[in-house]
Amino acid sequence: MAMRHLTHHPKTPSEANGMSRWWRHYNPVRTAFNYAIVQLAARCPFMGMKRGLYRCLGARIGKNVSIAPDVILDFVTPELIEIGDGALIGYGALILAHEFLPDGYATGRTVIGPHCLVGARATILAGVRIGEGAQVGAMALVSSDIPANVLAAGVPARVVRKLDARRGPEKPRS
């Protein structure tokens, strides 16, 4: 599996770490607005409204995407998140597009392909690409790319098996 696709931004000499002066890199008013919208969307029961709220932040949300309650999209860089048509994001999932580091911070486009399933409480790190039709197990930590039409699970997430693109998981052969 491919590693994450990140752009690294080094800290300045006056910064203790990548998060110590975050307001110099991101507009605090816009960040607070984004946070409020993400929290509202996480509690919104209406799929259409939820998709609309995320789109107003710049996230690319496809048609017929289903996002369960308590899903949190990155509120610092939501414009770097893309979720393909027909994807289903499970309860309490976390989808990131940035990370603060001791020596700076990193950003990366996070892409969840069409018709993917992201299980409950899964965490998708910044710069990860999940291929079309892939399924990510509940509570998985996706720290590298996941190919299309596979089931990935665990911490860190690893491919468990290939999926038949039309029928779901293949049955183990006896």
Has 98 been annotated as catalytic?
Answer: yes
Can you give the length of the chain in residues? 174
First to last CA, the chain: 28
Long-range contacts at 152-161 (CB < 8 A, ≥ 24 apart): 153/119, 157/122, 158/1, 159/1
- Identify the active-site residue in 5, 8, 25, 98: 98
Q: Which residues are catalytic?
A: 98
